[in-house]
Amino acid sequence: MRTASRPAPDEPPGASHDEAPGARSGRLLEWYDRHARALPWRVLPAERAAGKQADPYHIWLSEVMLQQTTVATVKAYYEKFLRLWPTVEALASAPAETVMGAWAGLGYYARARNLHACAKAVAAEHKGRFPATETGLRTLPGIGEYTAAAIAAIAFDVPAAVVDGNIERVVTRLHAIDTPLPAGKALVKAHVAGMTPSRRPGDFAQAMMDLGATICTPRRPACVLCPLSEGCLARIAGTMELYPVKAAKKPKPARQGAAFVAVRAGDGAIFLRRRPETGMLGGMDEPPTTEWGVRRDGATGAGAAPFPAAWTRAGSVVHVFTHFQLTLEVWRADVADAAGAEGRFVTPAGLVAVALPTLMKKAIELAEPAALAPSPPQRKRQI
C-alpha cells in the first residue's frame, strides 16, 4: 500500500494504483501539447483538435523510413517519396528499380523491397486502405511489432502499446529496469500498456518518443525539463545514464574485396550490374565486385576483374556495416565495351537515377570523380 506522499509509477504490472490512473499520461500529453516537434508526417495536437486526420499512408511511409534511421535523415527522403508517389496506389504501380533508386542512401535495403511489396498488397488486397488493427497490419511485409502498433495508434487511434528504442529508454529509467534488452522488452511493454490512455493513444506514443529524443536522451538527459521526472527511479538514484542495460555487442570482423570501375571511352559511362535480390545491398546496383572475404590474401587483384582490361589500382575505400568492416580495393580502366560481361553502362547523367548504395558511390567517386559530379546544367555556380 502506497502512501499519498510517495508518487508511484502508473499501473506497474500487477500492482494496485492509488494515484489516479493516467496521471503520468496526462502530464506527458500536456507537455506534448506545448513541445511536440513539427514533423512533415505529423498532425500536431492543435491541428488534430481542428479536425485534421493523420493519413495512414503518410504514417506508414514515415515509420518504415524511421526504422533504425534518424529523423534528420528521413525528412528529405520522405518528402521525395511523397512527391514521386502521392498515394499508396502510385507507389504500388512504380517500377521496383525506381523505388530502389529513390531509397538509395537510406540503408537497410530490405526495407525498400518490403515497402514496395507492402504498397502492392495494400493496393491489390485492401482496396488501397491500410488495415486499422495491429493484427491486420502485422500481415504486411516490413511491418513488425513496433510499426504495427505505431500505425494503429497514430493513424487509427487504437490504444496499442508502442515500444521503440526511445520508449525503452524512458521506461527502463522510470522503473529502473535492469534486465538487459532485448530480454527486458516484455516488461517494458507491460508498463507501456499500463500507461497508454484510451484517449489520444497516438499522441501518447509520439509524446513518449519525442520525450526520449529530446529530454530523456542517452547521455546527459535533461531531467529538470522532464514531465515524468517525479517518481522516476533512475532520476532519484542518479543512475539515468546506466539505462537501458543492453546485451554486450559482438566484435566487428574485417572483410576484403575489390571493385572494378570500368569507364567507357567517349561518354564516360560506368559499367554496373545488379546485385542479387537478397543479402547485403540486395537488389541494388554496383560496379562489379569480388566476393567479400575474411582473408586478407583473397583475390582482390586485377586478375579478379569481370573482364580483361588495362586495370589500374585507384586506391581503396573502407566502409563500416552493421556487422563487419569492409575494405574494397578499387580498380579502374578505360574501356570500349565490357566484353560480354553481365551488366550495363550508365552515363553520368543516368547515375542519379540508379540504385547505388553509399559504399558503391564511394568506390566510383574514387575511381572516376567526374561520373558523380553534378552535371553541368545543375551545377551550382562556384563563388
Is residue 69 near DNA by the rule CB under 7 A? yes
Cell 542518479 appears where? Answer: 238
- State the minimum distance, in angstroms, from the CB of residue 166 to DNA: 4
* Residue 216 or 309 having the CB closest to DNA: 216
Neighbour count for residue 74 (Cβ, 10 Å): 22
Give me the phi and psi of 208, to 5 degrees please. -60, -40
Residue 277 is classified by DSSP as S
Catalytic residue chosen out of the listed positions 11, 19, 63, 368: 63
Residues near 294 by beta carbon (within 8 Å), at least 6 away in sequence: 253, 254, 255, 256
Is residue 201 near DNA by the rule CB under 7 A? no
* Cβ–Cβ under 8 Å, residues 125 and 100: no
**Separation between Cα atoms, residue 287 and residue 306, nearest integer Å:** 10
Considering only 12, 33, 35, 39, the residue that binds DNA (CB under 7 A) is: 39
Is residue 172 near DNA by the rule CB under 7 A? no
Cis link prior to 369 (omega < 30° from 0)?
Answer: no
| Range list of β-strands (E), the chain | 254-264, 270-274, 285-286, 312-320, 325-335, 344-346
* Cβ–Cβ under 8 Å, residues 306 and 331: no
**Separation between Cα atoms, residue 271 and residue 296, nearest integer Å:** 26
Q: State which of positions 289-318 bind DNA (CB under 7 A).
A: none
Considering only 87, 114, 327, 347, the residue that binds DNA (CB under 7 A) is: 114
| Range list of β-strands (E), 231-380 | 254-264, 270-274, 285-286, 312-320, 325-335, 344-346
Cβ-count burial 208-222 (b if 16+ within 10 Å, e if not): bbbbbbebbeeeebe
- State the minimum distance, in angstroms, from the CB of residue 350 to DNA: 19
To the nearest 10 degrees (0 to 180), the angle between helices 165-174 and 201-214 is: 80
Alpha helix locations (H) across 226-315? 233-237
Site size toward DNA, by CB under 7 A: 59
* Residue 143 or 269 having the CB closest to DNA: 143
* Residue 107 or 298 having the CB closest to DNA: 107
277 catalytic? Reply is: no
* Cβ–Cβ under 8 Å, residues 317 and 366: yes
Is residue 274 near DNA by the rule CB under 7 A? no
* Residue 112 or 335 having the CB closest to DNA: 112
- State the minimum distance, in angstroms, from the CB of residue 266 to DNA: 29
- State the minimum distance, in angstroms, from the CB of residue 7 to DNA: 26
Is residue 143 near DNA by the rule CB under 7 A? yes
Is residue 219 near DNA by the rule CB under 7 A? yes
Is residue 321 near DNA by the rule CB under 7 A? yes
Considering only 15, 49, 225, 247, the residue that binds DNA (CB under 7 A) is: 247
Considering only 7, 13, 182, 301, the residue that binds DNA (CB under 7 A) is: 182
Is residue 71 near DNA by the rule CB under 7 A? yes
Considering only 15, 46, 183, 222, the residue that binds DNA (CB under 7 A) is: 183
Is residue 80 near DNA by the rule CB under 7 A? no
The residues annotated with a catalytic role in the active site are 63
Residues near DNA (CB under 7 A) are 37, 39, 42, 62-63, 66-73, 105-110, 114, 141-148, 150, 164-166, 169, 182-183, 185, 206, 209-210, 212-213, 218-219, 246-247, 249-250, 279-282, 319-323, 357-359
